[in-house]
Amino acid sequence: MKSRQQLIPPEHVLIIASKDANSTPKNIQQQLATQLSPKKLRIPIKQIRPTRSKELLIRCASKGQITKLKEFISSDKTICDSLELRAPKTLRDSIIVFGVPSEFTAEDLISAFETHLSSEKEGAIHPETPIHRAVPRPTG
């Protein structure tokens, strides 16, 4: 199944937050635009957007461009004093499996999923404690 959105590698994204709690993403963007010019830096920026937590997300085409942008921002003392830079958190997919008999343990489920995953995703399963609910069976 193909997703409509392409997955963006997290190393191509930079999150910028203001140290001032009252600052908005628009203020952060204006501050960066006045003190740093992407055209002077020659870094093509693919996307700039606010996040839900009032931070600014900047996406570039490559990891090298993000590294260059971080270096320029870190080298400017006035920007560095008012802004914090960080990489985005990696998200883990959640899977809920219904109808598993109570005699199956978490280890049984993990081994079953690991056989279906590719070798590059080895160790990617982080289980939570399984919850077994007693479901009334229909009589009759």
CB of 48 within 8 A of CB of 56? yes
Residue 6's pLDDT band (cuts 50, 70, 90) = low
How large is the average pLDDT for residues 86-113? 80
* Highest mean pLDDT of the ranges 18-27, 104-113, 126-135: 18-27
DSSP readout, 25-66?
Answer: HHHHHHHHHHH--HHHHT--EEEEEE-TTS-EEEEESSHHHH
Q: Tell me which fold the domain 12-86 belongs to.
A: Alpha-Beta Plaits (3.30.70)
Q: What pLDDT sits at residue 13?
A: 92
Digit-coded pLDDT (tens) for 78-91: 888 899 999 888 76
Digit-coded pLDDT (tens) for 41-82: 888 889 999 999 999 999 998 899 999 989 988 888 888 889
Digit-coded pLDDT (tens) for 111-120: 877 777 655 5
